Structure 1
Amino acid sequence: MTARQRLERIVSLVEEHGFLPVSELSELCQVSEMTIRRDLERLDKEKRIQRTYGGAVSLRSGAPAGKNNQEPARAKTENVPIDELDVLVATSVNPRYDNLLLERVSKKNIPVIAESQPLSREETVVAVDNYQAGYDLGRWAGEYARQKWAGRARVLDLTFHMPNTQARSKGFTAGIQSVLPETEIVLSLNAQSRLDNAYQLTRDALTAYPSINIIFAINDICAWGAFQAAKDLNIDPAGLIILPFGLEGDTLKNALMERTYCVVGLAMFPEIVGPACVEAAIAAYNHRPLPAQLITPYMILTPETLPEVYERQGDNWSLRREVVRTKVHIPLDIDQPRTHASEQMPRHIGLIVPFMEHEWYKNLTLCIHEYASRMNIGFVEVDAEQSAKDEVDFRRRQIARTAAGMINEGEVILIDGGPIANYLAECLSDRTGLTIITNSMEVFDILRKNPQNTLILTGGAFRYSSQMLVGPTAENALRELRADKLFLMVTGITLNFGLSHTNISEVTMKQAMIRSARQVILLADHTFFGHESVVQVASPKVVHQLVTDDALPASAR
């Protein structure tokens, strides 16, 4: 079956059934789930099917009622701004965003409970001992390789750049080499904690180095990408094992029970971590002292031991809590009667979710919500990516308002294009007595409804992607015009390379704007500093004034 034939078959199957999950399409088309996901994304863009959580629905008949079309249960959250939370449970996203977030909540004296790894201003960290857990799993892998492959161990490490995941990889390497000192780490690759990346990196690695027989994955989504890659390459499970650090949800537990590539996994128990985060949040809200880290339990599970700890109901698994209590130490008194009768309960606990697609965060979210609800505590799920975008967007609007305050009646101003330019145009929409020159169609559309200003559009070739007018016609127009102030935007700012931008046709237009202006005012939030784009625009010396936010990296100040 060719790729085109497979696409046509997928459309036919989805139209016949109304809805089909990825797993079923994978079986029907005899390809991996990764391939099916890519096909569904392509068909969705072509508007031939509608991509849904876990599968696809027909555009003709709609999906039938039934459990197959239902997204797994998610916590129903309240719509409460971060500033109004009583406690925030947060996972590090990236240092720059972490600083923005911590600065924002610290101004409101909101205590922070760090999940997975430190954030620098938290009350405590709720996390597994990543290095020790990785070390123990590495020793297990070493013993397995000694028994199955006479001690031959060639490892692919699918890691991530964060400190906690690096600790897992380092622990695993130390553990396996403590058993088999000759173990070779063939490759250690940053899969960015994304399914597609893990799949492609694994496929490439196994193709280039077929002697790899052990894959260590720092979480389930990397392990699942590796699993699909090995399956697509038809690699014999007798010669390859994949070891997930997490067993976060049902997917890898079911893979473990298949006894193919996944023969062991390290369970981190979101069912315990979630309640521990809530208990830590209650303690912090009541100013009770907490240790620097609350170490959560882990267990190495095989197909034989998994059913002892989890109960299987179809393809779903639920924790045997009483059994687990006898096997591991659980931090704080979760599921126990309250011992602090006079303590107050927070009204709302928020959870920052950095990877919405990960089973760890789906299950952690549910566990926190369920445990908090039992104590009548509201729960707020915060999408880290969207929250970061909102924070940057807020700062860009502030920059635009500041820039608008620098414009005087009667002035001729030149406005470049970009997100901040659009906000500046909004700020000027009710101003009068201005002459405004722009090559941005979006800026023009915002301002053209006000007849009290003179609005000049440069003309030129239209770039759809940026909604900008560029080229010789636009540049020639600027030679005949002179502006009092240019409000310039670029995509990269460094001291060495200066101002830079991504598209050469827009760069030549920006250079023409600089030549046409008496004063150059650069509008840029902190995200543009420290980056060098493809094409240099000008030296920083051309800038007369900079309008930015208060989150500049130290190197740029």
Structure 2
Amino acid sequence: MLTPTVNLLKKERHAFIIKQVNLHNKVLSSDLSQQLNVSEDTVRRDLNELAETGKVLKVHGGALSRSFHFPFRDSETYALDSKKEVARKALGMIKDGMVILTAGGTTMIELARMVPDDLRVTFFTISPLVALELNEHAGAEVILVGGQLSKNSQVNIGSQTVSFLHEIQVDICFLGTNGVSAGKGITDSDWEIVQVKKAMIKSANRSVILSISEKLDSVQPMKVCGLNQVSALVTELDPQDKQLAAYRNASVQLI
């Protein structure tokens, strides 16, 4: 978890909040209160001001990143170049004839956009937005995993989604993450999303985490799985980069 920050000016608090929102897609007022060492009333005022200026999307209990929501605009996507590099590396893992399962998020959107038209692949996805991007490619057969659409994450969740995932077996599952740590594994802040991600991992021969390096060593409240339950971690970094030293000691391939 982040070390609480003490006595920041409002401008500095706003910059901290915007970075956390863009990095993790969603933040809770209660978490920000602890991290900033201020009251939740102060956080709510900050979020209201940021929402009024279009920097974040205010929701009950916290805020969402604007870059995470439809319609996607490249100019609003946080760390776009890094996400494109992660997507490019992930695309290299997909071979003709494979069955692939994807989560949602801006990195998955970039991956979907890069799929060549002559690649013959069946894609299952829990994200309607990823499905629409994949459907633009002639060689892609796209199957949207149904369920209740989450207003926050814009992916399908709930028992119907989990039941569907229990009935399929795919070659590779590509997952994004809100937190990844060599010690704590893959974590998230949304219970429903955690249940779906667990089901996705069980349905795949290989599970691959796509994450920009800024999320490394971050921990969210709810555990999805340990690193030993995923096959590979894809970042924009070279696998020998010193930031990945702790992960090279874990039983996970670095790409």
| TM-score, with length taken from structure 2 | 0.64
**Partners of 1:197 and 1:479 in 2: how far apart?**
43
Contact 2:117 2:138 in 1 (8 A): no
Distance 2:175 2:143 in 1: 17
Q: Report the 3-state secondary structure (helix = DSSP H, G, I; strand = E; otherwise coil) of the residue aligned with 2:194.
A: helix
Contact 2:77 2:106 in 1 (8 A): no
Query: Structure 2: how far apart are the matches of 1:197 and 1:547?
Result: 31
CA distance in 1, matches of 2:227, 2:213: 16
1:99-498 equivalences under 5 Å are 190-195=6-11, 392-428=79-115, 430-498=117-185
Q: Contact 1:440 / 1:469 at 8 angstroms: preserved in 2?
A: yes
Relative to structure 1, is the Cα distance of residues 491 and 195 closer, same or farther in structure 2, using a 3 angstrom cutoff? closer
Q: 1:421 to 1:431 in 2, by over 3 A?
A: farther
Deviations 1:230-263 (A, max 9, x none): xxxxxxxxxxxxxxxxxxxxxxxxxxxxxxxxxx
Does 2:197 match 1:510? yes
Deviation at 1:390, TM superposition (A): 7.5
Return the alpha-carbon distance in structure 2 between the equivalents of residues 460 and 418 of structure 1: 17
Residues 296-335 of structure 1, C-alpha deviations (whole Å, 9 max, x = no match): xxxxxxxxxxxxxxxxxxxxxxxxxxxxxxxxxxxxxxxx
Change (3 A) 1:489 1:552: farther
> How far apart, CA to CA, are the structure 2 residues paired with 1:542 and 1:476?
21
Deviation at 1:406?
A: 1.1
Inter-partner Cα distance in structure 1 for 2:132 and 2:84: 18
Q: What CA distance in whole angstroms lies between the structure 2 residues aligned with 1:484 and 1:552?
A: 30
Deviation at 1:549, TM superposition (A): 2.1
Aligned to 1:135: none
Q: Contact between 1:501 and 1:536, CA under 8 Å: does it hold in 2?
A: yes
Seen in structure 2, the aligned counterparts of structure 1 residues 446 and 390 have a Cα distance that, compared at 3 Å, is closer
Q: Structure 1 residues 461 and 553 mapped into 2: Cα distance closer, same or farther (>3 Å)?
A: same
| Unmatched segments (≥5 aa) in structure 1 | 1-160, 162-188, 199-388
Q: Which runs of 4+ in 1 moved over 6 A?
A: none
Change (3 A) 1:554 1:495: closer
Alignment TM-score, normalising by the size of structure 1:
0.31
> Matched residue of 1:553: which SS?
helix
Corresponding residue SS for 1:499? strand
Alpha-carbon distance, 1:553 to partner: 2.9
Kindly indicate whether the alpha-carbon contact (under 8 Å) linking 2:117 and 2:140 is maintained by their aligned counterparts in 1. Answer: no
| Aligned equivalents of 2:194, 2:12: Cα separation in 1 | 33
- Evaluate the alpha carbon distance shift between residue 496 and residue 196 of structure 1 in structure 2; reply closer, same or farther with a 3 A threshold: closer
Q: Distance in 2 between matches of 1:463 and 1:529?
A: 25
Match of 1:349 in 2: none
One-letter code aligned to 2:102: I
Distance in 1 (alpha carbons) for counterparts of 2:205 and 2:13: 48
**C-alpha distance in 1 between matches for 2:114 and 2:203:** 23
Q: Which amino acid aligns with 2:6?
A: N
Which protein shows a greater Rg? Answer: 1
Shift of 1:541: 0.2
Contact 2:90/2:111 (<8 A) preserved: yes
Aligned counterpart in structure 1 of residue 218 of structure 2, from 528, 531, 551: 531
Structure-2 change in CA distance of 1:194 and 1:556 (3 Å): farther
Distance 1:527 1:556, change over 3 A: farther
CA drift at 1:418? 1.6
Corresponding residue number in structure 2 for 1:330? none
CA distance in structure 2 between the partners assigned to 1:546 and 1:196 by the alignment: 32
Structure 1 residues 548 and 476: CA distance shift in structure 2, 3 A:
same
> CA contact under 8 A between 1:483 and 1:518: conserved in structure 2?
yes
CA distance in 1, matches of 2:150, 2:90: 26
| Higher-RCO chain (CA-CA 8 Å, sequence separation at least 6) | 2
Unaligned runs of 5+ in 2: 15-75, 248-255
| SS of residue paired to 1:407 | coil
Asked whether the 8 Å contact 2:198–2:224 carries over to 1, the reply is yes
Q: Percent identity?
A: 27
CA-based RMSD of the aligned residues comes to: 2.5
Conserved in 1, the CA contact under 8 Å of 2:99 and 2:121? Answer: yes
CA distance in 2, matches of 1:396, 1:197: 26
Superposition deviation, residue 392 in structure 1: 2.5
